[in-house]
A and B are shown apart, each in its own frame.
Chain A
Amino acid sequence: MTFQKPNIGEMIFHHTGDSKFIELLWFGEKRLPGPWFIPGTHIDVSPTKHVVFMILAAFLVWLTIWYGGRQVERRHREGKAPGGFGAAVEALVLFVRNDVAIASIGPGGEVFAPYILTLFFFILYCNLLGLFPWGAAATGNIAVTAGLALTAFLTIEISGFRALGPKGYLKTIVMVPPGMKGIGAVIMAIIMTPVELIGKIVKPFALTLRLFANMTAGHFVILVLLGLIFVFGTAPAVIRYGVVTGSIALTLFMMFLELLVAFLQAYIFALLTSVFIGLMQHEH
């Protein structure tokens, strides 16, 4: 009797990576259409597994907010406080709006509340979809998180430009300490300009890597713990049963931790984006 050696590394990358195949519960795998090249280039724009789950997440966000909002509106018309699902959605929305967006951006933060709320709910649903069987976390793909961080970067810079004006915005790049004149000011400007520019680039870069690495690392740990069962497949029975028990218990613990992390990372992405917007708004 021969046992095939399990390849845990390949299994992990198969499960966390993007692919052209989507698993449809009990109906096997389906190949997504494509490749669709942009004419004249080699850029493939056909949907992949992560794109499908991203669209699903967007649809679920719309469904949640639409249904919750409709319920809150109806209860409001009847002169009652919202209850049930509507109240749950309202509590989350109010928390993100008041305690994340407005508290971090400062006065005038209401303008950014819709954007921050969109980020929060979209990332939350993307993260949670990764925890379902047959599901995939679109936020475990660095291209998705980079795209989200790019919107954050544009929001931070453009809102900063609008709040500070051209001259004020230029001051956030070419920084001269107040009270410095002549040759000292020139030297300081030469030293500080690259530092300020790097500071601007690092913010979205850190947002990208934090979300991507957190989601990927969580899935890696779960898959490695499950993979231990297969690694010990040829061990004596006592060790085998021990490993299976330990592995399942630890996987369960990690799944609960991932549930927490899914909420925490959505919260942190929204919080840091609003903190950065606030920093640019009040730069003097």
Chain B
Amino acid sequence: MHTLLMLLQATPETALNSNALLGAGIGMGLAIIGAGIGIGRIGGQAVEAIARQPEASADIRGAMILTAALVEGATLAALVFALLFKLA
């Protein structure tokens, strides 16, 4: 319990801001769920495609990174806004 409180760094000052922290935390979690599903599917399908057609692996890898980057961009926008809510 002692170590858990230390990990949470609970102090009266942070407790005042707890609603904003809760909002930021939930927002970050939701954004990461979406990104996890999206990028996981991209990676899984790319591995499957490379297994079926190893000679096309260079093209598939390029398309995979490009699509993953686009998904990641939207997620990171959500994370930055969540951080802004925490700081504001």
Residues of A within 8 A of B (CB): 5, 8, 99, 103, 205-207, 209-210, 212-214, 217, 228, 231-232, 234-235, 239, 264, 267-268, 271-272, 275
A91–B82 CA distance with the chains assembled, in angstroms: 40
Q: How far is the CB of B5 from chain A (nearest CB, A)?
A: 10
A217–B76 CA distance with the chains assembled, in angstroms: 9
| CB within 8 Å for A275 and B66 given contacts A235-B3, A239-B3 | yes
Q: Are A210 and B73 in contact (CB under 8 A)?
A: yes
Q: Are A209 and B76 in contact (CB under 8 A)?
A: yes
Q: Are B65 and A271 in contact (CB under 8 A)?
A: yes
| CB within 8 Å for A206 and B65 given contacts A217-B79, A235-B3 | no
Q: Are B7 and A209 in contact (CB under 8 A)?
A: no
A239–B9 CA distance with the chains assembled, in angstroms: 17
Query: Which chain B residues in 2-21 approach chain A with CB under 8 Å?
Result: 2-3, 6-7, 9, 11
| Chain B residues closer than 8 Å to A213, beta-carbon distance | 76-77, 79-80
A213–B84 CA distance with the chains assembled, in angstroms: 12
Out of A209, A217, A234, A264, which one reaches B6, CB within 8 Å?
A234
| CB within 8 Å for A209 and B77 given contacts A232-B6, A235-B3 | yes
Give the nearest-CB partner of A8 in chain B. B9
Give the nearest-CB partner of A265 in chain B. B69
Give the nearest-CB partner of A207 in chain B. B73
Q: Are A231 and B66 in contact (CB under 8 A)?
A: no
Q: How far is the CB of A4 from chain B (nearest CB, A)?
A: 13
A contact face: mostly helix, strand, loop, or mixed? helix
| Chain A residues closer than 8 Å to B7, beta-carbon distance | 228, 231-232
Q: Are A271 and B2 in contact (CB under 8 A)?
A: no
| CB within 8 Å for A206 and B77 given contacts A271-B65, A272-B66 | yes
Give the nearest-CB partner of A13 in chain B. B87
Out of B3, B65, B74, which one reaches A268, CB within 8 Å?
B65
Out of A8, A209, A239, A271, which one reaches B80, CB within 8 Å?
A209
Out of B11, B65, B73, which one reaches A209, CB within 8 Å?
B73
| Chain A residues closer than 8 Å to B65, beta-carbon distance | 264, 267-268, 271
Q: Are B73 and A235 in contact (CB under 8 A)?
A: no
Q: How far is the CB of A170 from chain B (nearest CB, A)?
A: 27
A103–B2 CA distance with the chains assembled, in angstroms: 57
| Chain B residues closer than 8 Å to A232, beta-carbon distance | 3, 6-7
User: Which of B6, B65, B70, B74 gathers most chain A CB within 10 Å?
Assistant: B6
8 closest pairs, A vs B, by CB? Answer: A213-B76, A206-B73, A210-B73, A268-B69, A209-B77, A213-B80, A235-B3, A209-B76
Q: How far is the CB of A206 from chain B (nearest CB, A)?
A: 4
A217–B35 CA distance with the chains assembled, in angstroms: 15
Given contacts A8-B9, A214-B72, 5 further A-B contacts (CB under 8 A): A206-B70, A212-B80, A213-B76, A232-B6, A268-B69
| Chain B residues closer than 8 Å to A268, beta-carbon distance | 65-66, 69
